[in-house]
Structure 1
Amino acid sequence: MDPRVVAAFEAKQVLSRYELLDLDVAPTEIRRFLRTGDLERLRRGMYTTREIWQSADEYVGRPRLLARAAIAQMRRGWLLSHDSAAHELGLAILRPKDPLVHVTRPGFTNAWTENGVKHHLARFAEHQVVEVNGMRVLDLARTAVDIARERGRQDGLVACDGAMRMGVTRAELQAAVAPMTHWPGSRAARWAVGQADPGAENPNESLARELVLEAGIGEPETQFPVLTDEGVRWCDIRVGNLVVEAHGAIKYRPPEEGGVALRSAGDVVFEERKRERLLSAAGLVVCNLYWEDYWGERRHSAIRRLRADHAEAVRRSGSELSPELKRQADMLRVQYGDRRPTA
């Protein structure tokens, strides 16, 4: 492939048939590249290279390519929204059961799906439009509340937590949802905005927090620091004297396998056992949740486990956090801030 064409794909990721022709790629060459697999057809007349497609993951990378191909064929009035905006903005969201490209343009509230693209008509302010990677998209606050309206409370909470984690304020989320009083799904969006917490460090912790709310055992507090005999231990979620830890496989995989573990899985597990011992010595009960606990029958079982562990925490240490643990936590937050150190 001509180096100029390779450079153009590297710059834009997606090229149209007309752009390839402008780069002196003949129609016969386009057909040959498609036959040999050097080109991947994303939509009619829209292409990327095999290398770009194969290097893109199925959760964010490939949906981004499909969204870019779709928006490139539309009139200027359309812009990326919902999931497609989230992918460009770097907002962590849950993957829907049936992923679609989402685009929005001004109009009375309406939506329809065609050829893998969901078209939304909705009002938005000009200041809610931002340009990212050469794409016009709705901003973080509007994207988060749109996802909440579109997909419900669970997806909305993950999106709103993620937006606040990226610097969006609750006031900005409230301003985004304010005009949507009578829009479909607006109640779920308002709930997600009200419950959003930047202390949930990833979607796993957002889902754990939602499960705690559903269990009815109290209001969850995120990023709770505990001073132990072996230093400070930061807990994902605390309710009374119960600590809830949200675990994902990413914690046990090395970076080359898409994880964050800098030690062997055995060492990570051993450290977790020591951590539980230290927290127990401080008068806390630990409940472990895993990604599988948020869905289906496992969800009901996890709620029962949360309630049982909370009852055990009340039995051991009472329903209120001890004044000493609270004093220490307040002191540690003054020292470190509202989040555990990343280094």
Structure 2
Amino acid sequence: MHSEREILLARDLPGETLSRARRAGAVRTVRRGAYLAAEHAEPTVADRARALVLQLGPDAVLSHETAAVLLGCRTWRTPRVTHVVRGYRRSGHASRDVAWHFGSVPADQRTSVAGLTITSPERTVLDCALDLHPLAALVIADSALRLPDPLDLEVARRMLAESPRRNGRVRARWVLDHADAGADSPWETWARYVCLRAGMPRPRTQAPVVTAERTYHCDLGWREHGVYLEFDGRSKYATSGQEELWREKLRFDAIRATGINPVRVTATGPGGVARVVARVSARFPDVVAAGFRVNRNLPLPD
């Protein structure tokens, strides 16, 4: 039908034309009343966002995780709904694939990506910090600091101070205070979140380790305590070739030759978060670990 990822709206097509296309399997449903030519891959977050804006009109401003994806940020999970801010409350039946947010977005808190109006990096991160699980918000904030036009944390903090919102402020402030551009993946953010939630001191991301060969970096490090952490995800090995795995072995051997033995953790296996916390805590001096207290404002990862 179309070579580009053009969104087709039911309201713009003759009923019989759409019916024939659906019966023939020539279109994919993006959302109710919006379709994509079947020759394309499954609808993306951007496809669903574009379809919604075409149906709502140009006054809609995309926000939260939707805006984060469009900005180029990583997310903890692929968003299941499209977030949109509108200046008036919805009436009638809610759409299950849309998260509506009532309010306004000033011009200086907006930007545009691929013709779609979205919230700025600062407004996006703040909205996520106020409304999402703090781990999900931290993943986005970490990633936003790595954008070509990176998140300005001071601007986001100022926006939080000026926000009339009462709920979620403590967690939002925590997210902004702990965002770190050094996280290379959502799982590295997960490991840092788990440690911080357990009351450990703030670690350094991409912590340097000087070896006889060169300076390597561990995912997290508490140099003053001699504690270092590496997150080992299954995908790390599933996508690595033999040569890359060999280089990783040499790297780890060189680090251990300095007397440093990083804790290698995963998010799987019995015990989950508790197991990871126990393994990392055990590397700290007893007098330090005795002072660790769980931050009750931070829920367990979901």
TM-score by length of 1: 0.74
Aligned to 1:44: 32
Aligned to 1:76: 58
Aligned mates of 2:169, 2:19 — CA distance in 1:
47
Aligned mates of 1:71, 1:102 — CA distance in 2:
11
Q: 1:291 to 1:37 in 2, by over 3 A?
A: farther
Percent identity at matched positions?
A: 28
1:148 aligns with 2:142: no
Aligned to 1:257: none
1:205 pairs with one of 168, 188, 196: 188
Aligned mates of 2:87, 2:142 — CA distance in 1:
27
Q: 1:215 to 1:277 in 2, by over 3 A?
A: farther
> What are the residue-to-residue correspondences of 1:161-310 with 2, within 5 Å?
161-166=142-147, 167-180=150-163, 182-239=165-222, 240-254=225-239, 261=240, 263-264=241-242, 267-292=243-268, 297-310=271-284
**CA contact 2:85–2:105 (8 Å) conserved in 1:** no
Aligned to 1:14: 7
Q: Letter of the 2:73 partner, please give it.
A: L
Cα distance, 1:117 vs structure 2 = 1.0
Give deviations 1:238-294, integer Å, cap 9, x for gaps: 01311111222332234xxxxxx3x22xx544444433332222232311122437x
More contact order relative to length (CA 8 Å, sep ≥ 6): 2
Which structure has more helix as a fraction of its residues?
A: 1
Aligned to 1:123: 104
- Divergent runs of 4+, >6 A: none
**CA contact 1:91–1:140 (8 Å) conserved in 2:** no
Could you say what secondary structure the match of 1:292 adopts?
coil
Aligned to 2:72: 90
Aligned mates of 1:144, 1:297 — CA distance in 2:
31
Cα distance, 1:18 vs structure 2 = 4.5
Could you say what secondary structure the match of 2:131 adopts?
helix
2:19 pairs with one of 25, 28, 31: 31
Q: Letter of the 1:276 partner, please give it.
A: F
Aligned mates of 1:187, 1:51 — CA distance in 2:
47
Q: Letter of the 1:304 partner, please give it.
A: A
Aligned mates of 1:269, 1:90 — CA distance in 2:
28
Aligned mates of 1:291, 1:113 — CA distance in 2:
36
**CA contact 2:82–2:97 (8 Å) conserved in 1:** yes
**CA contact 1:226–1:234 (8 Å) conserved in 2:** yes
Aligned mates of 1:152, 1:44 — CA distance in 2:
28
Could you say what secondary structure the match of 1:274 adopts?
helix
Number of positions where the alignment pairs a residue of Structure 1 with one of Structure 2: 280
Q: 1:183 to 1:50 in 2, by over 3 A?
A: farther
Aligned mates of 2:208, 2:280 — CA distance in 1:
20
Q: 1:310 to 1:278 in 2, by over 3 A?
A: farther
Could you say what secondary structure the match of 2:256 adopts?
helix
What root-mean-square deviation, in Å, do the aligned CA atoms of Structure 1 and Structure 2 show?
2.5
**CA contact 2:7–2:51 (8 Å) conserved in 1:** yes
Could you say what secondary structure the match of 1:299 adopts?
helix
